[in-house]
Structure 1
Amino acid sequence: MTSLRAQLSTSSLAAFLAGPAMAQTAPAPAALPVSDSADAARSEARQADPLNLERVVVTATSVAKSKLKNSLSVTTIGDDLVTALNPQTQSEVLRLIPGMVDHGGNGPGGNGNITVRGLPITTGGAPFVQIQEDGLPTVLFGDMNFGNNDYWIRFNRSNTIEAVRGGSASVLASGAPGAVINYVSDTGEVPGGVIGLEGGVNYNSTKAYFAAGRALARDLRFHIDGYAIKGRGLRDPGFDAQKGYQLKANMTKGLGELGFVRLYLKRLDDAEPVYTGYPSLVHAGPSGFSGLSPFPGFDARTGTTVGIYNERINVLDSTTGELSKKKSDGLRPVASAYGAQLHLTPGGGLTIDDKFRYTQMSGSFSNNFMRLTRASNIVGSTVNGQTVGSIVYANGPLAGQPFNGTYVNTGPQVYTRIRDMGSVANDLSVSKAFDLAGGSVQLTGGLFYMDQRIAQDWHPNAHYQTLEGVNPAGLDLVSTTGQLLTLDGVSSYNTAFGLGANRSYDISAKNSAPYLNANWESGQVQLDVGVRHDRLRVKGWAESASAATTTTGLIGGALVSRSLLDPSTHEALNYTARYSSYSAGALYALNTDTSVFARVSHGGRFNVDRNILSGYTNPDGSLNESGRQKVVSRVKQQELGIKNRGQFGSLRYGTNATLFHSTYDSSNFDLTRGPTGTYFQSGYKATGLELESSFRSGGFAMLANITWIDAKVTANAQGPDPQNLVSSGVGNRPARMPRLLYVLAPSYRVGGFTGGVMLVGRGRNSVDTVSQYEAPSEVQVHLNAHWEFLPGATLSLNVHNLFDKLLADGHMSPGSLASLQANGTIDGLPIGTGAAVNGRAVVLGINYAF
């Protein structure tokens, strides 16, 4: 039997483009061992099918058919591609999917703003994208405050990502009208494994990883994989900001022709730094900027707002008023998951499949955000009822000495305790195959259920610190009478973003969704139609602070303010909401290598935790009229696509092109904008083209993904009162939505050496919806090289951001020349804040596949 070593030893981009080595090739394999003949056939298929269009789709589909025969836009990212390109963040992984827009710069642990096909992000997170692990959601809602779906998942060796954009995602998943991204685990179908070690050459981080699996008997197999990481990370804070591990395992017991039963286990305990917006000097013109230069003392490519002087955060308990110190761990998810799958094929065309998972999840989010303020605007202002007379260093080697700098970082210092984000999920489906009207029909009915807990405590402090990219010191304010107005740089506890941001809540959101899907196929024609009805039951409570529970007094000799929770703000949550979805598609196979498809879909998503304490409920917890209109956002899509594979001489290729049109309408609330929060009434439309392609000829291979998006704002009303919203920017392009996105990754293999380059680019885009102030087009260049110096042993070198360019990643705030100039200029250049791309990162690794 061919081992996994033979496949993993060619862990290079060229190998990936021939097809993923460890992909789950079918949702329900009957025979557990893989024979030599099956392995040989699979290898031959990969050679003839660079885009792997014969891979059976297991995500957001009710029928086990290949990508070529599915009326869906599907992308597969195998372990070989990730091994070759070695992305350092979740954002870098997801950008390999056509149509996906992930505003990165948030760090290796997640907290990204993820969207697809021109759908906007009004508040944050991934509102229209569901991230799954082995067919079940990691969390029920993709954009929960301090609980986004990318917090709880990590890509490791032997994973395969399968992404379905639009189409049946509206019917076969909840809250995913934009896309479903499924992290599919290897199940030991191919025996073997890998063990490896990698580390930063120009930064401090070391990661060890492994994967192994095989058949233990004819009807029993297992797989296990994991990693451990430790180091300071891409931006050095002076302590180990990366520290954690993940362990995953599964075991499959075959039941002969009756099917199989599979058990899953996962443990994630990780701490990863959070990177947010940082200052840069902007080469600005009246309608847009052409580039960036480093801010003096804070290089946005390498700087961070966290260091040894704020490694621990002072947290004031919102109930007792007790002060304690918490580790600034960045993004700290702790998750234990236990799952099972039962797949039965009793005969007569009947299939029963049930997936179950119980997950315990908790953790914390901590970070110092960035807000640029002139020191001259602080001196003379009123803080805690006193006039600020001077600024001194609060800690560090200059503690107690006067601060004479021009700029201060007054960004909030945030610690959120994620008490419970656990869930119970189950998806039961029953399929029946039969003949009808000269063709074959597969009718699938199912019931999805998920109970999502959302329990958190927020602690946002008003904080002052130096504007330095390495170990920023805290700054204390002193009144004109000599009174200290801050403690370790904190002037007020639990009051940043407004009193409503000092909040505690405990919510149970139970979603039940019956669905029905029918697929009919006759000869070259295939028709697919499905419906779904989601019903959400929300119970719980939420409380915040108020002026009545905000006081100013002495703590540690400093006159500071603090806020506690106010029981009079208690909001009961006890309501039900629902929406229906549909999807219909048709496919015509022109021949064995080409198919065309069309599809329409209509889906929705619930707004839950982001809408609490917003005035959307009655005293008994039911939704009022305004709340009933705001709880559901809706998306409609139309698609037309073609899939083709072929050969020109020795060049083999595969391509998938999809033309799409999306419309969206939503209402939402964001309490972090403005003193009392901001209400949104939004509408957008987008037309675009996704092109995914792969080429191979001898030792040459190339991945080429291109997305073009033409998006427009159809409604953009916002304000502090939901009854009096102000509309602006209608007809403009949405902020941070580029017209062009592309990934070009050529490589060449000679003997045991493979070298390649990857270009990740984006076109011009507006950084502000109203002003349409534009960011320039950008391209990141990454280098990868792999040398198999012994059979199974590979040495790898990856260089990210090869030319160490300072790039804004399409984002800059404020969004107009006048607002950029409001904070003054340095060397004639105004100052802006943006989520900059990390600087050059060199990674050296070695692994052995067996």
Structure 2
Amino acid sequence: MIAQTAAAPAAAAASAPMPDTAAAPPTPARQADSLNLERIVVTTASMARSKLRSSLSVTTIDDDLVRAMNPQTQAEVLRLIPGMIDQGGNGPGGNANISVRGLPVTTGGSPFVQIQEDGLPTVLFGDMNFGNNDYWIRFNRSNSIEAVRGGSASVLASGAPGAVINFVSDTGTVGGGSVGLESALNYNATKGYFTAAGALAEGLHFHADGFVIQGRGLRDPGFDAQKGYQIKANLTKDLGTLGYVRFNVKLLDDTEPLYTSYPSLVHAGSSGFTGLSPFPGFDARTGSTVGVYNEVINVVDSTTGQLTRRRTDGLHPVANAYGLQLHLTPGGGFTIDDKFRYTQMRGTFSNNTMGLAMPSSIIGSTVNGQTVGSIVYANGPSKGQAFTGSYLNTGTQTFTRMSDMGSRANDLNASKTFDLAGGKTSVTGGLFYMDQHIAQDWHINAHYQTLEGVNPAGLDLLSTTGQLLTLNGVSGFNTARGPGVNRTYDLSAANTAPYLTANWESGALQLDAGVRHDMLRVNGWAESASAATTQTSLIDGSLVSSSVLDPATREALHYDASYSSYSVGALYAVNNDTSVFGRVSRGGRFNVDRNILSGYTNPDGSLNDSGRQKVVSHVKQQEIGVKNRGQFGELAYSANATLFHSSYGSSNFDLTQGPTGTYYQSAYESTGVELEGSLRSGGFAMVASMTWTDAKVTANAQGADPQNLVSSGVGNRPAGVPDLMYMLAPSYRIGDFMGGVMIVGRGRSNVNTSSQYFAPAEVLVNMNMSWRFMPGATVDLNVHNLFDKLLADGHLNQSSLASLQANGTINGLPVGTGGVLNGRAVVLGLNYEF
């Protein structure tokens, strides 16, 4: 069958091994290879080698392991990969900060991690504002994930010196299929899915899979926040000894809610906080800042100034991708491979964020030129009545239209294998090209609403003279965080990268090296609002501010940039079940849309001196590792261990931080160990991983003026990098029943680079059970966050006890805000294979 049905985590460990590529016959250790060390590596690999014989740190995640985890967000899946760091509490559709091996995220997104689908990047830059790489991907049944950390990712991918995460599709070489239905038991959501594969004719086979989802979601906003579908299919024509040609298509249209920082009561000490308690009236595990009273928000058009209504759809990506792969083996040791994909992508990002405040900080302040005298309900059952709550939410309303995020990508390479110096040599030359379009317009409103987790109502401000200073809770359209954040831009970033790799193998020894040169060409423009286009006027009787685009701010973008990368590795096969490897790599990435409107360009669109220094960030990595499998009596095991050292320097700009933006000049280094392993004996199986990281800041400067940056935090642990991460997933099978748990934990992490204020260690426990009640049919029960813990996901917005106390206390506990993982989620599934 094309998809395995057991939902327990060790089902991946029980899967059949890949065909053995060595000359020796399979040993018992190989037959029980739980980590699939014989699987051929397809991600950032210039030669077809097994995981055991590749000088790379590679992790494979199969569908069964993901189903056991029952992830509530796309990013949570990545916690199964050693070394991978994510803050996955932002919602099931994406928008997580993803990094690896202690490389922190300065301004958001995934700056050093590339997400691929079948070997081509989903987007060229993983950290685009309102366009992160995890927006456009959905894990579906029969997929697997292959993750390469460090190593050849520097020379066989662009902008991915940290890691490449490749979502690999089944290609239908084994016929069959499945249909299934999942339904949440303690919230409103239903998901149906299918897979199908088989031969259509001799030498012609296909695979298709998809899902459809609808429901309110765990954080019920009072309407269907989850609704959409994905369909993927590929068709392969075998050309015999000449290779194959493959066509593929993906259609994605999926609306998912966005989660932001939420309030909690903080158990805090002088050096860090030790846990959270629910905020009265807003349980961060299930609460939402979106409800029936802000399901639709008002937006002022940046050009015309007209008021329009938009749905608060959370994250709504639409992606249609069409691809072609030609793999030719004409003989004589030659191989030619070309992957092409054309993608149409667009979408919207809309949400209400969290800003914690007390009424006393609002009353008496100046809003729209008037003194605030009182606060009343703007809508809901108490509309017009005085607001008497102790706290309110001053977070912004955000609506961003991603009008065009499409791309064209092509990766062509040719390799030749021949004998040299007593060994087998393979040389590969390739050319990668990708043209990424980035066209967006931003609308961020200043807004007030009640601090309630269910259907929060808007709050209107009244001046001391009785004048309304808000319209349905909005005091300023396109003005929150400064008028410059109201921006529109349309640019194309084309990256051309020739690369060359060479591999030599003789007996147990392998040597390989690669180089790559990335060349970027950016063309386009950007424009924002300014103080000159900000006005205060009466709209429907309310005195509110608004801003539109200012042509005087228009920035031309016409520049080139480049960087070179290298990677050198070696592997020695001690025996058929053990290998050791080492590798040194240097890679880079471009800073593009996050640096627009930052003063880094000349009037003609070329980079000025400051811009040329900040358009590229570099990462260096060194790693040594060992891979081993074996058997002690009835107990079979497999294990990988990698010792790594990473360092990088980065320059960046973030306009969303403060009215004029914030410039960053930073450098970091980290040393750590990645471990992954598995055990199996009879009906017992277990997979596990652990990463320990010692990271520190070696340079850190930031400020509103790039010429006058303030340094702080040097020597500290960078924010958001846990010292320990681990996953433990034991399971047991008895006949047709399998049950297991998955324990995902992380140690302490700093919440602010400058102050060394730490979040506590946390543990998430999931449970899964599966019963095959008839041939081909199973029923699965998955429970996410089994003990319904309030977990801060290693993140808290406040950086010190003093700032926590500025928000006051409830029952003697300070009030703070931060990202929080979902509460308990129980899902029942029925699956039938044919």
- Report the TM range for the smaller structure's normalisation: over 0.9
Matches within 5 A, 1:755-834: 755-834=739-818
| Alpha carbons 2:116, 2:165 under 8 Å: kept | yes
Q: Partners of 1:20 and 1:263 in 2: how far apart?
A: 27
* Equivalent position amino acid for 1:18 in 2: A
The correspondence for 2:11, drawn from 4, 11, 15, is 15
Q: Distance in 1 between matches of 2:808 and 2:68?
A: 44
1:518 counterpart = 2:502: yes
1:304 aligns with 2:303: no
The CA distance in 2 between the partners of 1:311 and 1:363, in whole Å, is 17
Output the CA distance in 2 between the equivalents of 1:26 and 1:462.
61
Deviations 1:190-246 (A, max 9, x none): 111111000110010000001010112221000000000000011000000000000
C-alpha contact (below 8 Å) 2:29/2:629 kept by paired residues = no
Q: Which residue of 2 aligns with 1:217?
A: 201
Amino acid across the alignment from 2:10: A
Equivalent residue for 1:715? 699
Q: Where has structure 1 moved over 3 Å in runs of 4 or more? A: 9-12, 41-47
Q: Which AA in structure 2 matches 1:464? A: Y
Contact 2:75–2:134, Cα closer than 8 Å, also in 1: no
Shift of 1:83: 2.6
Query: How far 1:12 sits from its partner (Å)?
Result: 3.4
Matched, 1:638 2:622: yes
Of 127, 131, 136, the match for 2:111: 127
> CA shift at 1:633, angstroms?
0.4
Corresponding position of 1:836: 820
Shift of 1:642: 0.1
Three-state SS of the structure 1 residue aligned to 2:12 is: helix
Alignment counterpart, residue 467 of structure 1, candidates 451, 456, 459: 451
The residue that corresponds to 1:373 in the other structure is 357
Distance 1:523 1:26, change over 3 A: closer
Moved more, 343-352 or 286-295: 286-295
1:83 aligns with 2:67: yes
1:314 Cα offset (Å): 0.5
2:263 is equivalent to residue 274 of structure 1: no
8 Å CA contact 1:19–1:51 kept in 2: the answer is no
- CA drift at 1:582: 0.1
Say whether the 8 Å CA contact 1:543–1:571 is kept in structure 2.
yes
For residues 769 and 6 of structure 2, what CA distance do their matches in structure 1 show?
Answer: 12
Please report how far the alpha carbon of residue 84 of structure 1 lies from its aligned counterpart in structure 2 after TM superposition.
Answer: 2.8
**Partner residue, 2:308:** 324
- Indicate the residue corresponding to 1:387 in structure 2: 371
SS of structure 2 residue aligned to 1:627: helix
Is 1:179 matched with 2:163?
yes
Q: Which amino acid aligns with 1:67?
A: K
CA contact (8 A) 2:281 2:452 kept: yes
Structure 1 CA distance, aligned partners of 2:736 and 2:706? Answer: 63
Residue 243 of structure 2 corresponds to which residue in structure 1? 259
Report the equivalent of 2:668: 684
> Match of 1:344, as an amino acid?
L
Query: Which amino acid is 2:745 matched to?
Result: G
Any residues of structure 2 matched to 1:566-715 within 5 Å, and which? 566-715=550-699
Give CA-to-partner distance per residue, 1:604-658, whole Å, 9 cap, x none. Answer: 0000000000000000000000000000000000000000000011111111100
In the comparison of the two structures, how many residue pairs are matched? 831
Distance 1:493 1:277 in 2: 22
Give the drift of 1:47: 4.0
Matches within 5 A, 1:132-171: 132-171=116-155
Q: In structure 1, how many angstroms separate the alpha carbons of the residues matched to 2:792 and 2:730?
A: 25
How far is the alpha carbon of 1:764 from its aligned partner?
A: 1.2
Deviation at 1:42, TM superposition (A): 11
Taking the aligned partners of 1:223 and 1:104, their CA distance within structure 2 comes to: 30
1:671-709 CA distance string (max 9 Å, x none): 111110000000000000000111111110001100000
- The alignment partner of 1:83 has SS state of helix
Deviation at 1:26, TM superposition (A): 11
1:522-533 to 2 correspondences below 5 Å: 522-533=506-517
What amino acid maps onto 1:120 in structure 2? P
8 Å Cα contact 1:8/1:194 also seen in 2: no
Contact 2:625 / 2:640 at 8 angstroms: preserved in 1? yes
CA drift of 1:43 comes to 13
Residues 20 and 79, structure 1, Cα contact 8 Å, conserved in 2: no
* Residue pair 2:641, 2:674 contacting (<8 A) in 1 also: yes
Q: Is the 8 A contact 2:315 2:348 kept in 1?
A: yes
- Aligned equivalents of 1:108, 1:320: Cα separation in 2: 34
Secondary structure of 1:151's counterpart equals helix
Asked whether the equivalents of residues 68 and 767 of structure 2 are also in contact (C-alpha less than 8 Å), the reply is no
Distance 2:299 2:827 in 1: 37
Residue 382 (structure 2) aligned to one of 398, 418, 432: 398
- Please give the per-residue CA displacement for 1:733-788, whole angstroms capped at 9, x wherever unaligned: 00111100000000000000000011110011211111111111110111100000
1:499 corresponds to: 483
**Partner residue of 2:330 out of 337, 342, 346:** 346
* 2:315 partner letter: L
| Alpha-carbon contact 1:18-1:52 (below 8 Å) kept | no
Q: Separation in 2 of the partners of 1:20 and 1:305? A: 46
Using the alignment, how far apart are the partners of 2:347 and 2:761 within structure 1? Answer: 37
CA contact (8 A) 2:9 2:742 kept: no
Q: Which residue of 1 aligns with 2:730?
A: 746
2:394 & 2:416 partners in 1: Cα distance?
Answer: 62
Kindly provide the CA deviation profile for residues 574-599 of structure 1, in whole angstroms up to 9, marking residues without a partner as x: 00000000000000000000000000
Corresponding residue number in structure 2 for 1:33? none
CA offsets 1:418-438 (integer angstroms, 9 cap, x no match): 000000000000000000000
Letter in 2 for 1:535: M
Q: Name the CA distance, whole Å, in 1 between partners of 2:749 and 2:344.
A: 40
Shift in CA distance, 43/234, structure 1 to aligned 2, threshold 3 Å? farther
Q: How do residues 542-581 of structure 1 correspond to structure 2 at under 5 angstroms?
A: 542-581=526-565
- Are the equivalent residues in 1 in contact too, given 2:568–2:585 (CA < 8 A)? yes
Mind listing any 5+ residue stretches in structure 1 that lack a counterpart? Answer: 28-40
Q: Give the corresponding residue for 2:58.
A: 74
Q: Distance in 2 between matches of 1:42 and 1:672?
A: 57
Distance 2:16 2:393 in 1: 46
Match of 1:35 in 2: none
Query: Does the 8 Å contact 2:693/2:724 carry over to 1?
Result: yes
Q: Secondary structure at the match of 2:793?
A: coil
- Identity %, equivalent residues: 75
Q: Which residue of 1 aligns with 2:320?
A: 336
Secondary structure (helix, strand or coil) at the match of 2:213 reads strand
Q: Counterpart of 2:430?
A: 446
Q: Deviations over 1:55-98 (max 9, x none)?
A: 00000010000000000000000112123333222122111000
Deviation at 1:14, TM superposition (A): 3.0
Q: Deviations over 1:114-137 (max 9, x none)?
A: 000000100000000000000000
**Match for residue 482 of structure 1?**
466
SS, match of residue 13 in structure 2: helix
* 1:113 partnered with 2:115: no
TM-aligned CA deviation for residue 46 of structure 1: 7.2
Q: Which residue matches 1:104?
A: 88
Q: In 1, Cα distance between the equivalents of 2:406 and 2:542?
A: 40
Structure 1 residue 11: deviation in Å?
A: 4.7
Worse-matched range after superposition: 209-218 or 345-354: 209-218
Distance 2:12 2:193 in 1: 20
DSSP-derived class of the 1:8 partner: coil
How far apart in 2 are the matches of 1:19 and 1:139? 32
Counterpart code for 2:4: L
The separation in 2 between residues aligned to 1:463 and 1:687, in whole angstroms, is: 43
- The residue that corresponds to 1:226 in the other structure is 210
Gaps (5+ residues) in structure 2?
Answer: none
- Amino acid corresponding to residue 14 of structure 1 in structure 2: A
Q: CA RMSD in A?
A: 1.4
